[in-house]
Amino acid sequence: MINYKKPYVIAEIGCNHKGDMEIAKELIKVAKIFCNVDAVKFQKRHNKELLTEAQYNAPHPNPVNSYGDTYGAHREFLEFDVNQHQELKDYCEAMGLDYSTSVWDLTSAKDIAGLQPKFIKIPSACNNNMKMLTWLCEHYEGELHISTGMTTKDEIDDLVSLFKTHNRAKDLVLYNCTSGYPVPFKDVCLLDINILKEKYGAEVKHIGFSGHHLGIAVDMAAYTLGANVIERHYTLDRTWKGTDHAASLEPAGLRKLSRDLKAVYESLTYKIQDILPIEQVQRDKLKNKKG
């Protein structure tokens, strides 16, 4: 029997703010007031630590989405500094919303840990950075959320073992994820949630789902399989320039996602008696009593 936990919806803004603080704040405000989510999440990268010199100075692989002459310049344009992240965190808290950030390197992890958010996210691309994970386990007291896209089962075992070694498994949220933008339905592989639950459900805090697919039907299924933390990319306009917008939900879609997850949560119960009070009225009126 699955004990369904209340859904927790994260709107991943990532870099969909286009490097503009006012757009970032508008995304926060809409996510809270219109979409009724629980948290928003950004990204933090120290690009010269994360990228080789050749990668930094190379052209963007898809120039139409680039905000700079090189990939490094593109990434720097989209980057907020620590003071700006503090401003975003303060704005989220004023709106009654949890703030978080994905960290892509050790310097960024240290910067964001200093802000003491409720949770920090480690993206699939960085879940093998054991130096960063070890530092976070030892110095950051909040929840640590980790996606498992492009990760082998043995590597997931190593991740969980690291957290157990540091007595931090109960602060770990492990996400089922397929890395792709967008991901076709045949590659979502939702049943891997069952594997994560069976192997780690008793050890970690939550099982989550980070989706890069289209629509919201898949998220409902992920929740019913036991992933109560649901993360989706979110933008104000899917036609904007940038890599992630096309695989993101616009406000109307995110609002429906949040609404429908809460509806499913309320619906996943057993009847407390054979004939519910709402049914008794109909039974008295409609049930054939003549035998």
Superfamily of domain 8-286: Aldolase class I (3.20.20.70)
| 8-14 vs 229-233, strand pairing mode | parallel
The DSSP symbol for 169 reads G
Letter string b/e over residues 238-260, b meaning 16 or more CB atoms within 10 A of that residue's CB: beeebbbbebbbbbebbbebbeb
Reported pTM: 0.95
Hey, what are 185's tokens? 């339905």
256 near 242, Cβ under 8 Å?
A: no
**Cα radius of gyration (the chain):** 21
Residues with pLDDT less than 70, the chain: 1-2, 290-291
Indicate the average pLDDT of the chain: 95
Dist. CA 136–CA 141, nearest whole Å? 8
pLDDT digits (tens, 9 = 90+) for 45-103: 999 999 999 999 999 988 888 898 999 999 999 999 999 999 999 999 999 999 999 99
Question: pLDDT value at position 1?
Answer: 63
